[in-house]
Amino acid sequence: MSRMLINGILRDKPVTADGQFQRMPSAFRSWIEASPGAAFPAVSGRYHLYLSKACPWCHSVDLMLTFKGLRDAVSITWMDPVMSEDGWVIDQPGFEETAGVPRDRYLYEVYQRAAPDFTGPITVPLLLDKQSGRIVSTESASILQMLNTAFAGAGATGPDLYPGALSDEISRLTAMIHAPVCNGVYRAGFATAQPAYDEAVTRLFAALDEIEAVLEQRRYLAGEEITGIDLKLFATLVRFDPVYVTHFKTDRKRIADYAALSRYLCDIGGLPGVRETIDLPHIRAHYFQSHRHINPAGIISIGPDSPFAEMPAPQGAA
């Protein structure tokens, strides 16, 4: 049984009657802005991220930090690979003392301190304002957008990964991948009824076939230049064959069975700084040992060959 906060108290999350996994919406959706008069102004060193090397939503944020050159501008606390019954556990050996960031044991403690009456899921990524102690956002898509634009005058480098000229196409592609693929793997894996699983996995592979057709014509999803939507898809694809095929029963095909998707995965994986964001042993330990309702013994499967399997653990990872 997964846990959530209800009026600031840790409780069991209700189970849906139809067996479908439903991701609860993010409650914190404030915005960092370049204006000095903003509630959350773009200031290097002011903000802190709680991230997991296992989580694909966090991985896309980590990639954005890499592409925008913001690793020194935003501090990070990492999660242990294996979750507890009370949710995400903070990596204690890897914890780096940072002003405005107490040493908690569990992520839910961060929520309780920042929003004592909060009701909702205990999720990463979490973007914290160290100055006020308030949570800025827990919505990965918003965090990606903020990191892409808000810090232009506060140390950010690299290209605009959400160019205005491609906004309509990026929105179309987001609809193509977000619900059926990025969230779809979880809807398949966490389904507790056959119809719910069948619906999720059918939509998943229909979307992958559609994306394969796009990538047969383009280097990246939106064209010849990488954009933010690629960061989201890449994070899911990295985990697909090593984890989701077995653990989430998404075994109709592997990414290795798709020529264009395989090329795309290796292409992005070869870009500067990308491989350093991938800790495959950490990822596999998280999924196979955290979800005991799927894998009661916590046995980690042997897994397939992967171009990322031999990567050393990135600095700061458990």
Q: Please, how many CA atoms are within 13 Å of residue 137, restricted to the half-sphere of its CB?
A: 19
Instruction: Provide CB contacts within 8 A for 137, sequence distance 6+.
Output: 26, 28, 29, 30, 31, 126, 127, 143, 146
Q: Is 244 part of the annotated catalytic residue set? A: no
- Distance CA(157)–CA(162), nearest Å, equals 14
One-character DSSP codes across 167-203: HHHHHHHHHHHIIIIITHHHHHHT--SHHHHHHHHHH
| Active-site residue flag, 111 | no
Catalytic residue, candidates 55, 58, 108, 287: 55
Select from 212, 204, 297, 216 the least CA-distant residue to 244.
204
Torsion of CA 231, 234, 235, 241, to 10 degrees: 180
Q: φ and ψ at 285, to 5 degrees?
A: -60, -40
DSSP summary character for residue 164: G
Q: How does strand 74-78 pair with strand 120-121?
A: unpaired
Cite the active site residues: 55, 186
